[in-house]
Structure 1
Amino acid sequence: MKLKVNTLIFSLLLIMIFSACENNPSKKIIIENKSDINYESKVVELPWDKVAAQYPELDLANFKIVEAVSKKELSFQLEYAGNTAVKNILVQVSLNVGSAIELAIENGKPSEVNSKTYGRFVPERFDDFAWENDKIAFRMYGKALELRGKGNAYGIDVWVKSTDKLVINERYKRGKYHVDNGDGMDYYHVGHSLGAGNIAPYKSDSIWYSKNYYQYKVLDNGPLRTTFQLDFEPWMVDGQEVTATKIVSLDAGTQLSKMEITYSFENVEPLPAVIGIIKRPEEGGQELFKVEDGILAYWEPTHGDDGTTGVGIIIPSKVSNMKLRNDQYIAEVEVSNNEPFVYYTGAAWDKAGVITNQTQWFEYLDTKKQELLNSGIEISFKSE
């Protein structure tokens, strides 16, 4: 009898040990901030290949990420980038300069989270494609708009927000998004321009606008990052045919979308292009040209009771010139054939209460540029 009891105890101990090992409590993921920037609610990419090497038995449908010490659970996202295999695990963390956080992966069903990013095709409104996060919202215009006699709308539109909730679906449902119902509105005017930071070829002192996008694909859709692809039909640019694909990505907690543009054309020489922001006819407002830093920004004139919108562009690669051309501020760049060209564009609204004046907006863009140059985020793995 004593032998049976001892055997039972030993078996229970083995089960407990196995369970502890299965949860990998001795394995840690360390995220360090070695920059001179304090990060608040930053989305960090944990490369899947490194995570999988550390946790080879990980069940994608049954795990959670916690702070190693407090055991506080973090929301996360499996990023696929349009593929069937995981590319990254995304987590959102806040890290002051010189600080670090230790995370652990445990078996178990993760808690449900509220998505902070979202995007969708909007067939009920002329094939818009709209996207948003907990800070700001945008849209671009689809083929139905031009096919139904409404014409082309080349630019990026801004929907300002004063809430961290997702609002796109509710605003389209109401059908009155030009009125502030307590969470923001659409008062931004795109017109026949690049709007809030779109890109187009620029040759013979002319901007060669494409038609509206005709095809879309959602690559990832929250909760921490939304990414989608828009395809454009060929059009003529100063005598040569050009096609374009745009991949747009928006993280939680930022004012800026990442734009990845690929142009295809026959010439071996790079294609001149401009990224633009429409200028308002009203008095006031302030522009910022920082050619060497690749920052073009505009703090618009106040729009009556609607408030004030700041629009900005960050271009990590070379910019040859910035100027006011007719009613648009433009940054001149060159794009190589079939090579992705990356820049960032976004907006802020003073009535959201976070960025309330031009100084804060310009400083925000300066800080984001430094972050792009060197984020200072280092990720390491250790087993104790």
Structure 2
Amino acid sequence: MRFILLISSGIVSVIAGCGNPSVIEISNTIDEARKNEIVEIPMAELSLPSGRPFLIRDASGAEMPYQITYDSLLIFPATVAPLATAVYYIEEGVPATVDTVAVGRVYPDRADDLVWENQWSGYRAYGPAYQANGGMVFGYDIHTKSVDYPAVDERYTRERTQSNWDRLHRLREEGRSEEADSLQRWISYHVDSGTGMDPYTVGPTLGAGASAFMLADSTLVYPRSYQSCEILDNGPLRFTVDMIFGPLAVGGDTSVIEHRLLTLDSGALLNRAVVRYDSLSDSRTLATGIVVHRQNPDGSMWDSDLNIIAYADSTDNPCAGNGVIYIGAFIPASGDATHPTVAFLPLPEMKADAIGHTALLSSYAPGSDYVYYWGSGWSKHDIPTPEYWMDLMQSFARRINSPLEVTVLNKL
């Protein structure tokens, strides 16, 4: 999928009749390099005249991809050395086309699956049709990836194309078992056909980093499937979706509604989640969890100082050579006196190979926004060891806690 950035954003912003470019300084306040990290500038701060297109260049003159988001932010990838400042320029010109890397869609004919991805991984949230059919999967699913371009939609296309199944049936009827088995493996996105696969089991759990209220007896109030969703940004650099869950019964509150805003940027290790609950009367304990499967009961990792939990999942068939899925969640530092705690929450009984959750426990106040990050990587795509995954998680947390500082020096 390719877009002219100017068009894909849905907003035409320009620089008219100017000889000097607008100058943007981006400062890195930590001793750690930032490479192609998405930065945001409110369009109102730029005061760009309308009528003609613009482009962004770095100090070397190279053109940078950009996107204007649904909430009127100009976003683009910036690279800044440790403890340094980089300069970017906005000038008149028609931007080049750019490959879409952060993208998603809903599949109404696939039980309302909501699927999205970036270079690191693909994800699935289960929808209302799945729940209406009796589905009992609550948390996030994972589509592993070994390529940097969008690949998950092609997997769904293979699985949803009737002619593929017709050919499979003909091969079975003709007794051509070997060809039929090969075709069935190619059709199934649970088998790696060269770009990745879905080897992850969610079951009635939080899956790869969903959140749920925890009652006094440690019971989790699972949100089940989303009831409605609206895709707000769909590439090329950012995917954003607004989802609604519920109503939920949380203690004496019987009509709690969850609002969940998810954002996944190009190159970002993790998704950003902003969660808010309506019709909740009292503060409650909120658990952000990663399911622990019996195949690797000791695969959990954490950094309590940075509010990080992680897990090495052996996949639903460890003997099939499916690699290891690395999953993580992180709560940014805040000025609140409360600090999340790390806990293991065992399930009363094993379900779908799940024995419990590695979780971050926080106090949620009614009407507030709960912000956290979650996501995954794969051992067959640049994540060789659990230690390496934790290094990536810790680096990501430090960068989120010390965001790049953006200064607009002159407005055009």
Equivalent of residue 167 in structure 1, options 116, 132, 151: 151
**Aligned AA (2:343):** M
* Residue of structure 2 in register with 1:5 after alignment: none
* Residue of structure 2 in register with 1:22 after alignment: 17
* Residue of structure 1 in register with 2:358 after alignment: 329
Alignment of 1:71-90 (within 5 A): 71-81=61-71, 86=72, 88-90=73-75
Equivalent of residue 141 in structure 1, options 110, 116, 126: 126
1:295 and 1:365 in contact (8 A); partners too: yes
Structure 1 residues 27 and 329, CA gap change in structure 2 (3 angstroms): closer
Aligned-partner Cα distance in 1 for 2:21–2:157 = 49
Listed one character per residue, the Cα deviations across residues 135-188 of structure 1 (whole Å, up to 9, x for unaligned) are: 111010001012123x22111011110001101210110112111110000001
Equivalent of residue 343 in structure 1, options 349, 367, 372: 372
1:322 deviation in Å?
Answer: 1.7
1:383 deviation in Å?
Answer: 7.8
2:374 paired with 1:362: no
* Residue of structure 1 in register with 2:210 after alignment: 198
2:323 paired with 1:307: yes
Alignment of 1:114-125 (within 5 A): 114-125=99-110
* Residue of structure 1 in register with 2:56 after alignment: 65
Aligned-partner Cα distance in 2 for 1:40–1:221 = 22
Which contiguous aligned blocks of 4+ residues in structure 1 show a shift greater than 4 angstroms? none
Aligned-partner Cα distance in 2 for 1:106–1:118 = 27
2:263 and 2:273 in contact (8 A); partners too: yes
Alignment of 1:96-135 (within 5 A): 96-135=81-120
Equivalent of residue 260 in structure 1, options 274, 279, 301: 274
**Aligned AA (2:85):** A
RMSD over aligned Cα, in angstroms? 2.1
Listed one character per residue, the Cα deviations across residues 272-317 of structure 1 (whole Å, up to 9, x for unaligned) are: 1211111121247531233342111112337331101111110125
Q: Is the deviation greater in 286-295 or in 220-229?
A: 286-295
1:76 deviation in Å?
Answer: 0.3
Aligned-partner Cα distance in 1 for 2:345–2:276 = 25
Listed one character per residue, the Cα deviations across residues 86-125 of structure 1 (whole Å, up to 9, x for unaligned) are: 2x11011222213333222222221111111001111121
Aligned-partner Cα distance in 1 for 2:404–2:57 = 22
Structure 1 residues 26 and 130, CA gap change in structure 2 (3 angstroms): closer
2:257 paired with 1:243: yes
Larger Rg: 1
2:240 paired with 1:227: yes
Aligned-partner Cα distance in 2 for 1:51–1:129 = 34
Secondary structure of 1:30's match? strand
**Aligned AA (2:380):** K
Structure 1 residues 23 and 143, CA gap change in structure 2 (3 angstroms): same
**Aligned AA (1:377):** E
Aligned-partner Cα distance in 2 for 1:190–1:28 = 47
**Aligned AA (1:126):** A
What are structure 1's unaligned runs of at least 5 residues?
A: 1-19
Structure 1 residues 362 and 218, CA gap change in structure 2 (3 angstroms): same
2:269 and 2:396 in contact (8 A); partners too: no
Normalising by the residue count of structure 2, what TM-score does the alignment of the two structures yield?
Answer: 0.81
Total equivalences in the alignment: 352
Secondary structure of 1:89's match? strand
* Residue of structure 2 in register with 1:12 after alignment: none
**Aligned AA (1:119):** G
Listed one character per residue, the Cα deviations across residues 242-284 of structure 1 (whole Å, up to 9, x for unaligned) are: 11010000011022000111112342x3121211111121247
Equivalent of residue 298 in structure 1, options 311, 320, 324: 311
Equivalent of residue 178 in structure 1, options 180, 190, 197: 190
Aligned-partner Cα distance in 2 for 1:261–1:108 = 39
Aligned-partner Cα distance in 2 for 1:365–1:70 = 31
**Aligned AA (1:315):** I
1:263 and 1:335 in contact (8 A); partners too: no
1:373 deviation in Å?
Answer: 1.5
* Residue of structure 2 in register with 1:381 after alignment: 409
2:120 and 2:376 in contact (8 A); partners too: no
1:284 and 1:300 in contact (8 A); partners too: no
Structure 1 residues 383 and 152, CA gap change in structure 2 (3 angstroms): closer
1:34 deviation in Å?
Answer: 2.6
1:371 deviation in Å?
Answer: 1.2
**Aligned AA (1:136):** S
Question: What is the aligned-residue identity percentage?
Answer: 28
Aligned-partner Cα distance in 2 for 1:208–1:284 = 23
